[in-house]
A and B are shown apart, each in its own frame.
Chain A
Amino acid sequence: MTSSTAVLNPDSKAPPFDYNPSSMKQRMRVAALGLVAAAIAFYMGAFQWGWIHSVWDPVFGTGTQTVLTSSESETMRHLFGIPDAVLGSWAYTTEVVLAFAGSTRRWQFRPWLVILFGIDVIPLGIVSAMLVVLQGISVGAWCFWCLCTAAISLILVVLSYDEVWASLRFLWAAWRREPRLAALWGTFVGRPEPSGVRVAREMAG
């Protein structure tokens, strides 16, 4: 393998990790969990839309229904125009789609996609988990399915951070090679800028 084709090797590791954080195996776990969370949120959204007349809650009894019909939830519905659980389902769907998109070396080829995926999963995941807990405290009732999705959000953060870190390290190394915004932007959007190519070659070994 020449040094040029090495930067295209889809299976190469991404330092500091001794594995490829953009591998399909890694991303499939994120997509599968995101899909489960999206389905759970959509189940609650179906109740808010009136498609189903009750929500099964194995732990808190009518807790889920109390949360889904609370004044806080209604306020959100009037603000956004869509039930909050349906919006939650869409948010998890974005994680699934962004987990699927891109090659198995996207941390290098499309850092913008990985960073966008990271913003979607990491800060938004943490905030949504916090909101679920705050909502429980504010409403005075707990929602089993909301807590499940919040837990999934936090697991997704753990599963996704490595790829985001690899991308950030790649961008940082390219920036240190050539501290020019145009070059950094080119690397970020997926152009083989000289600095990015040199870093990619070094990382590919």
Chain B
Amino acid sequence: MWARTLEMAVGVWLTMSAFTFAVPGAADAIVVPLAGGVAVLLIALWSRRARHAHLFVLLVALVLIVWGWARFPRPGPPAAQNAMLVGLVLGLFSIVPNEADKPPPAWRRYVRESD
């Protein structure tokens, strides 16, 4: 579950960054990180109950990367670079399974049923 905890921490950072890296005249520079941060927090909480829900964080990560890369002329303002970097980090965490330090549930079930 450590990956989910880290996702939540990054989600908090993303939410706060919406107000830290505001770009004059670009409302989406607030909306995208804010919505992304809230989405990540909710998905990370949901992932504690649903085994594969963390993969939805990968979608949020892709949106952040594409938005940060395409929205402004590169290299973009801090808001865009932050979105891309956070997207890359979230994409990384999102592929780490819940209870990654234990055997997968299917293997545990197999051993339980075999004994």
- A residues near B (Cβ < 8 Å) are 2, 4-5, 7-8, 77-83, 86, 90, 93-94, 97-98, 100-103, 105, 109-110, 113, 116, 190-192, 197
- Residue of B with least CB distance to A105: B103
Nearest 9 interchain pairs by C-beta: A4-B114, A190-B104, A81-B74, A192-B110, A101-B96, A101-B100, A191-B106, A109-B103, A4-B111
* B84 within 8 A of partner (CB): yes
Q: Do most interface residues of chain A lie in helix, strand or loop, or is the interface mixed?
A: helix
Q: Which residues of A contact B96 (CB under 8 A)?
A: 97, 101
Chain-A contact segment, one of B12-20, B27-35, B86-94: B86-94
Shortest A182–chain B CB gap in Å is 15
Measured CA separation A205–B49 after assembly (Å): 36
Q: Which residues of B contact A190 (CB under 8 A)?
A: 104, 106-107
Measured CA separation A80–B85 after assembly (Å): 11
Pair B101/A102 contact, Cβ less than 8 Å: yes
Q: Which residues of A contact B108 (CB under 8 A)?
A: 8
Which of A81, A83, A90, A93 contacts B80, CB < 8 Å?
A: A81
Q: Which residues of A contact B24 (CB under 8 A)?
A: none
Count of A-B contacts judged by CB separation below 8 Å: 77
Measured CA separation A35–B103 after assembly (Å): 26
- Residue of B with least CB distance to A86: B85
Shortest B73–chain A CB gap in Å is 9
* B3 within 8 A of partner (CB): yes
Which of B69, B92, B97, B100 contacts A94, CB < 8 Å?
A: B92
Contacts A8-B107, A93-B89, A103-B101; A81 near B3 (Cβ below 8 A): no
Shortest B74–chain A CB gap in Å is 4
Name, among A2, A5, A105, A192, the residue most crowded by chain B CB atoms within 10 Å (CB to CB): A192
Name, among B3, B104, B108, the residue most crowded by chain A CB atoms within 10 Å (CB to CB): B104
Name, among B3, B107, B108, B114, the residue most crowded by chain A CB atoms within 10 Å (CB to CB): B107
Known: A86-B85, A191-B107; 19 extra A-B contacts, CB below 8 A, are A2-B114, A2-B115, A4-B115, A5-B111, A7-B107, A8-B108, A77-B75, A78-B74, A81-B76, A82-B75, A83-B75, A90-B85, A100-B2, A101-B96, A102-B101, A103-B102, A110-B100, A191-B106, A197-B110
Measured CA separation A86–B85 after assembly (Å): 9
Pair B107/A82 contact, Cβ less than 8 Å: no
Pair B81/A81 contact, Cβ less than 8 Å: yes
Contacts A93-B92, A101-B100, A102-B100; A82 near B114 (Cβ below 8 A): no
Shortest A52–chain B CB gap in Å is 16
Q: Which residues of A contact B101 (CB under 8 A)?
A: 102-103
